[in-house]
Amino acid sequence: DVKVTQSSRYLVKRTGEKVFLECVQDMDHENMFWYRQDPGLGLRLIYFSYDVKMKEKGDIPEGYSVSREKKERFSLILESASTNQTSMYLCASSPRRQPQHFGDGTRLSIL
Amino acid sequence: SQKIEQNSEALNIQEGKTATLTCNYTNYSPAYLQWYRQDPGRGPVFLLLIRENEKEKRKERLKVTFDTTLKQSLFHITASQPADSATYLCALDMTAGNNRKLIWGLGTSLAVNP
């Protein structure tokens, strides 16, 4: 079974902090994704990567950056956390043109 | 731009009945349409994928249809069980080249009552 592991289930940070969310997949998938999910807004794509060191902006990249130095790991960085970035963050991976496999999410609160 | 609509109201049905969930989209048809299940506090889990040239796909008690004329997909769960209670998301695969793009619906909450 594919496993996508997110480093934390719950995280509380302060405004202005630099926040790192880590995601690791164990199935050698080319594609990896970061989403945030908010009530009434659904899943929104922040960034995705289709190869090591490659990244593409999604629909809401502002305030975020990503890093993919190794194929199995995709990191999301909040450069200077703000309260409007409080959300559920979901990481996913997939082979090319195949359905996505999700982690269980990180519920991030910015105080 | 492409938009998706799923039943916004929660669906409550009795155990053993068939649940039918709707996914409507605007504009052009995607190459693929996917259905996922999401439980509270968990990530979505892939259930079924249907291609634009397929009318119907089945997996155990699940059935998906895809009507590109109506711009609609229906998701059926037959002989429903309380364990089927969850939120169900549809997603249109609008991938072009390396631009990997799924457009997600907001989901329909299903409650199956014993």
Q: What is the pLDDT of residues A6-41, one digit of tens each?
A: 989 999 999 999 999 999 999 999 999 999 999 989
**CB proximity B90 to A under 8 Å:** no
How high is the pLDDT of residue B65? 96
**Do B90 and B111 contact (CB within 8 A), yes or no?**
no
Tell me the two tokens of residue A99: 């359905």
Contact flag A42-B105 (C-beta cutoff 8 Å): yes
A47 pLDDT more than 90 = yes
Show pLDDT as tens, one digit a residue, over chain B (114 residues): 778 889 878 999 999 999 999 999 987 777 788 999 999 999 999 999 998 889 899 999 999 999 988 999 999 999 999 999 999 999 998 776 656 678 899 999 999 999
The A-side interface with B (CB below 8 A) comprises 4, 31, 33, 40-43, 45, 48, 50, 54, 56, 90, 92, 97, 99-105, 107
How far apart are the CA of A103 and the nearest CA of chain B, in angstroms?
6
Taking all residues of chain A, what is their mean pLDDT, rounded to a whole number? 94
What is the number of other CB atoms lying within 10 angstroms of the CB of residue A111?
10
For residue B49, the chain A residue with the least C-alpha distance is A99
* Residue A96 pLDDT > 90: no
Q: Using CA coordinates, name the residue in chain B closest to A94.
A: B100
CA A3 – CA B57 distance, rounded (Å)? 26
In contact, A75 and A22? CB cutoff 8 Å: yes
Catalogue the E-assigned strands of B1-114: 4-6, 11-14, 19-25, 32-38, 45-51, 56-59, 62-67, 72-77, 86-93, 102-104, 108-113
| Cβ contact B49:B34 at 8 Å | yes
Q: Do A101 and B46 touch (CB under 8 A)?
A: yes
Alpha-carbon span B21 to B19, nearest angstrom:
7
Give the span between the Cα atoms of A83 and A50, in whole angstroms. Answer: 30
The whole-number pLDDT of residue B90 equals 95
- pLDDT for res B97: 66
- Using one digit for the tens of pLDDT, what is the confidence trace for A54-82? 999 999 999 999 999 999 999 999 999 99
- The residue type of A108 is L
Q: Which residues neighbour A16 within 8 Å (Cβ) at sequence distance 6 or greater?
A: A80, A81
pLDDT at position B102 is 86
| pLDDT score, position B99 | 61
Q: What is the pLDDT of residue B100?
A: 65
* Locus of tokens 């009945």: B17
